[in-house]
Amino acid sequence: MSTEHSVIVHGDKELLAEAVAARLLVRLIDAQSARGDVAVVLTGGRVAAAVYQAVAASPALSAIDWNRVDIWWGDERFLPAGHPDRNETQARTALLDALKLDPARVHPMPPSDGPAGDDPEAAAAAYAAELAAAAAPGSARLPHFDLLLLGVGEDGHVASVFPEQPAAYDTRAVAAVRGAPKPPPVRITLTLPTINTAEEVWLIATGPDKAAPIGMAISGAGRVQLPAGGVEGTERTLWLLDRAAAADLPPKTVSLRS
């Protein structure tokens, strides 16, 4: 079955955040209607926070049975629990604390003061074990992901898979990252093979500093040199951009919305 690739461009970052929030809610409603249980993988960053805030403010929020939604993370900064720079903390503040979630179905990546201690390799292995435990009986090492959200870095990184770094070559489900070029240097991340098991992957980006890597990624750049170019959902890969981030794309590539 072929994978659908789409690029949708909105006028500015505010319109983009509102549109992504609406699209996310519709996707979860549809998936829940089809399967009952839904799994979404969250990302971090300023755009993600704006999306989560828009989701929290949406009147469609109650159309989802949040008690049947599994929440995972694509990567995490290896910091103590509750640290304001953790993606988990950002998501809880912007959205999750306002939802009626089953705590057992919220799966944050381990913090540096968690049961795995301050060893990121042990923490990555623990998260891989949690993923495997949630997989369907007799299936692979991963649960089913209906939707996985990603930001895109100025260098083309996604999650905490940075260009030419060891995680870009890693085939395990989860990898520890040391010496990341963007602070903090120690992180945990899903690897590209894990990311690419999701039904739909959405890459969300704003600003002119993202235009060059996005242009190269969509044009077919290699996954090691530009990890964003190695991302593909099993059913759909969707780029959701503002005009500035889409500046290096040929007009025929994009669908303009607002």
Residue pLDDT, tens place only, 15-71: 999 999 999 999 999 999 999 999 999 999 999 999 999 999 999 999 999 999 999
* Local structure of 139: helix, strand or coil: coil
Domain presence at residue 115? yes
Q: Is the dihedral of CA 61, 63, 67, 73 positive or negative?
A: negative
pLDDT confidence of residue 220: 83
- Let me know if residue 47 belongs to a domain: yes
Backbone torsions φ then ψ of 8, nearest 5 degrees: -125, 130
Residue 185 lies in a domain: no
Query: pTM of whole model > 0.85?
Result: yes
Task: Count up the domains in the chain and report the number.
Answer: 1
In a domain, 38, yes or no: yes
CATH number, position 116: 3.40.50.1360
In a domain, 41, yes or no: yes
Give the per-residue pLDDT at 250.
Answer: 77
Task: Measure the CA–CA gap between 238 and 240, rounded to whole angstroms.
Answer: 6
Range of the domain at 84: 7-135+252-256
- Contact between 246 and 211 under an 8 Å Cβ cutoff? The reply is yes
> 188-217: per-residue pLDDT in tens?
999 999 999 999 999 999 999 999 999 999
Q: According to the model, what pLDDT value does residue 255 have?
A: 62
Average pLDDT value for residue range 119-143: 92
232-257 exposure pattern, b = at least 16 Cβ within 10 A, e = fewer: bbeebbbbbbbbbbbbbbeeebbeee
pLDDT-derived band of residue 186, with 50, 70 and 90 as boundaries?
Answer: very high
